[in-house]
Amino acid sequence: MSTPLQELDARLQSAVGATMHGLQPVVRALTIAVVARGHVLLQGVPGLGKTLLSKSLASALGGRFKRIQGTPDLMPTDIIGVHIWDAGSRTFTFRQGPLFADLLLFDEVNRTGPKTQSALLEAMEERQVTVDNEVYPLPAGFLVVATQNPREFEGTYPLPESQLDRFMMRIGLGYPAAEDEVAVLEHYGRGAVGATMPDAAIAAGDIAAARVAADAVHVAPELGRYVVELARATREHPQLSLGLSTRGALALLRVARISAGLNGATFVTADDVQSVLGLVVPHRLMLAPDAVMEGVSERDVLAAVVERVAAPR
């Protein structure tokens, strides 16, 4: 018998699979993000369906969906909102920006300037915004799905480490397998304009039940210490100038717990932690200058860390 957590994943796989092909592992990662209330950074070259994937997820979840297109001239007030003068009441009223959504798609987030990027920090961490000393709470289910192109550097502003750390996961989208790409051409190659979004397939109660099921997955104290030892090993590694933060360690344990529950397990193992390291950790690491010159990647260092830290049995 499947659990509410597995049922949520199955429904999202079915709904998003109606518009996307061959992205089952990616949809699984997005399911984890929804359950964990964690923001996601989608990374890949143009034309792989990052925007369509985000819109399909939003349609399946229901709720309010807003989209922001990142541009260099985008200002904080464009995304947060602004007070405007109401001549009738002779008072200033707050007009909400697109941040006030259940799911926010921020397309090409690295095309916006540092000032606008920093405006996201409070929203992503505290799920609120402050305007003119007034605090406005965001929707309880507020979730950011941001996209960026890792190879297109002209006209872009690299995300600061503080903002990268607020993305629970970074999901890479690569080129599809040949069979999946053929399916895409058959599905969208008939001249139709746009894609038909799936109907809302997920109710708020489904997500709440999935979160209860995830919380029931047991985490032994040894697993918590294992995560801490992995984090400390990254902080002390000579090829890294910035290791895994405490926020990152907490995200790693949460994602591993939900992943274990999706696999039908009742407790978390070291294998569960290691299976999600690539989603949670690399974008939080910063290579030392010598490592960059040597062509070492964050994933290379992470693999070495995993080899060095003893896993509990």
Q: Would you call 16 exposed, middle or buried from its count of C-beta atoms within 10 A (0-12, 13-18, 19+)? A: buried
Please check the confidence at residue 276 and state whether its pLDDT lies above 60: yes
Q: Where are the domains of the chain?
A: 4-210, 217-308
List, for residues 32-82, the tens digit of each pLDDT value.
999 999 999 998 888 888 888 888 898 888 878 899 999 889 999 999 998
CB crowding 236-249: b at 16 or more within 10 Å, else e? ebebbeebbbeebb
Distance of alpha carbon 100 from alpha carbon 116, whole angstroms = 16
- Residue 152 in this model has a pLDDT that exceeds 60: no
What pLDDT was estimated at residue 262? 96
For domain 217-308, say whether CATH 1.10.8.80 is its number. Answer: yes
Kindly tell me the sign of the dihedral angle through the C-alpha atoms of 303, 308, 312, 313.
positive
d(CA 300, CA 28): 24
The per-residue pLDDT for range 8-27, each reduced to its tens digit, is 999 999 999 888 888 999 99
> 308 pLDDT band (50/70/90 cuts)?
very high
CATH class belonging to 4-210: alpha beta
Q: Which of 141-150, 152-161, 177-186, 272-281 has the lowest mean pLDDT?
A: 152-161
Rounded to 5°, the CA angle 16-138-261 comes to 45
Query: Furthest-apart CA pair in the chain: how many Å?
Result: 69
**Look-up: residue for tokens 């819109």?**
55
Mean pLDDT estimate for the chain: 89
Give the β-pairing of 128-131 and 134-137. antiparallel
Which of 52-56, 202-206, 222-226 tops mean pLDDT?
Answer: 222-226
Average the pLDDT over 220-226 and give the result.
Answer: 95
